[in-house]
Structure 1
């Protein structure tokens, strides 16, 4: 194993540990200081649409844009099966901080804007709609479980320090665009259909944990390397799984990493 690959693997391990510690410290800090936590809950049900947007009640909602602006903390998004509740947003906020939720409807599109200072947000969305999720986080993490037949056109995430955890779990996800200064992205499981993942990372890496080798991975790594696991090198910067061509469910991954690496082997 060459030095670049070793360095890449070490940085990946450090990245994963750092992302885990960010989440752990954030959660335990809040648990240890429950008296300083202010909990807020924002819920929008389908039955409230006509009253909330009386001028826009002629067209049913089809697509929803989730726009997250968060300074510190974490956000976890899950999907509920056939729920009439469009969203349920629970925020545990540090004292003197708050999370505000505003909405705007234009035709068949609903925009949900979430502005957090220092909080842990749990967002439950109905799987009856198609989503675009946009997130900007300074320090913390973003996670999403795409189970229950979630339908997501795009996840666009910018993080200064922290990480992204995506559990595909058979959900439909067309595109992921992630830009991370320090940290990384963990991908678990398989999507339904084809998912394209674009990651731009300054320091850190991408960790892929899928049971089947269904990905085609393109990586431009300035300093570091790749631990390919079951993936075969088929080009200068390309590693392909042996099931990629035949599988209906597949991942196309493009990495641009300045210092770090890519791991596809289970720990």
Structure 2
């Protein structure tokens, strides 16, 4: 087994007297792409926020490269973990470059000078995402797909080892879905760990190293897509009958829903 990027030990989390997770334990290896798959309201976003330290867990522990999240200050966490929410409020008149520069906040002290390392990190992020030509544009003038690339560039500029992404491909057309997933693959190839909640099951299982099927705060499966994607797990997770078939080009499993289970 490779080095553990994240170790989750007996995680328990409640919200408004409702148990979301109870005694949940799992490990995420460094340099892996993990897809979180499950119906709406099952806890995918909540789990990502727990891992990012945004949601304070009630009991258990989360370790980042063998250091407990409880022992780290918010800025220390932000130097290790990037969290990219599904929606963002950055709709005011910032330019693309200004938004990407915001990703450098964990590395800057108040009133500190803008360093060469910051400039290089922003430049690299813009280039890696392919939006250098948009850097002087104002974010509200961009298309939805272009905006998503801006926020992804901001996440990359933060220069962390772990990226937690909530529905990074939602509401994107096929063109931008391919671009975003290609970028995420390149980050994993650099040795970064990516955990992403992805709504499209076939997209998720095609691009990830391992997938987590989540239902009502519990794991239905946590395995390679070739093992996790089967009719039984789809039925348990989504209450849907399905057909599993091999896609002829990639030879990977894909899923087609057939009917709702009654």
Q: How does the TM-score come out when normalised to structure 2?
A: 0.35
Q: When you count helix as a share of all residues, which structure comes out higher?
A: 2
Larger RCO, structure (CA 8 Å, separation 6 or more): 2
TM-score, normalized by length of structure 1? 0.35
